[in-house]
Amino acid sequence: QVRLQESGPGLVKPSQTLSLTCTVSGGSLNSSTYYWSWIRQPAGKGLEWIGRIYTSGTTSYNPSLKSRVSMSVDTSKDQISLKLNSVTAADTAVYYCAGAVARIFYIWGQGIMVTVSS
Amino acid sequence: DIQMTQSPTSLSASLGDRVTITCRASQSISTYLNWYQQKPGKAPKLLIYAASSLHSGVPSRFSGSGFGTDFTLTISSLQPEDFATYYCQQSYSTSAFGQGTRLEMK
């Protein structure tokens, strides 16, 4: 059973770069049928898709965040990474990684709370 | 961009009630519509995909229907564990979620 675990700093200063990692266990990235997405949720609000990455490294980003986002994959470590630069308080949220097929999010990590504050 | 609008935004109901939540897309999305359940402090869980297909392990009291722009999620008989927030999501194009429907106990 594939499981996802997000990790990274819980506090990021404004204008800096938010960096998160999602580790896949219970299966390897290379053998998985999923591709991988990041989704975030500000406190008390709805879900926002950030972007996706295939094991090949091909990416697609939400147009509203595209200028600030990058994702990468490390198949040797079974990890997917997210970087969001020039963060502001509006980027404070719980960040989830999720495994998807055809834009259906079948599996989710537990999420990690990231606060942007000085 | 395709916008998803759920109604109601909140709903109070009692155990055993039949509950229906509606999701409307700003343009036709065929049956590319999925439903998720989220409990406080937890990640969302997939309930229904492709408008009406029940995800593995999801109780049969959950059902979905719809095509084009109008979709519904129905819980036939509310159980204690069903009180949660429900989100629809279109998978026709760049993923977009509805704003959520909070289901509370009356």
What pLDDT was estimated at residue A32?
Answer: 80
Neighboring chain A residues of B89 at a CB cutoff of 8 Å? 47, 105
CA distance A59 to chain B (A): 12
Report the C-alpha gap between B23 and B54 in whole angstroms.
17
pLDDT at B16 over 90: yes
Contact A46 B99 (CB under 8 A): yes
Span B14-28, average pLDDT:
98
Neighboring chain A residues of B97 at a CB cutoff of 8 Å? 46-49
- What residue in B sits closest to A63 (Cα-Cα)? B94
- What residue in A sits closest to B46 (Cα-Cα)? A106
What pLDDT was estimated at residue A29?
Answer: 82
pLDDT at B12 over 80: yes
Span B31-47, average pLDDT:
98
Does residue B22 belong to the interface with chain A, where contact is any CB pair within 8 Å?
Answer: no
What pLDDT was estimated at residue A30?
Answer: 77
- Return phi, psi of residue A91, to 5°: -90, 0
Nearest to B34 among A37, A104, A109 (CB): A104
pLDDT at A31 over 80: no
- Return phi, psi of residue B11, to 5°: -155, 130
pLDDT at B53 over 90: yes
What pLDDT was estimated at residue B29?
Answer: 97
What pLDDT was estimated at residue A51?
Answer: 96
Contacts of A58 (CB under 8 A, 6+ apart): none
Token pair for residue A70? Answer: 């990058």
Contacts of B36 (CB under 8 A, 6+ apart): A105, B44, B45, B46, B47, B86, B87, B88, B89
Percentage of chain A lying above the pLDDT 70 cut = 100
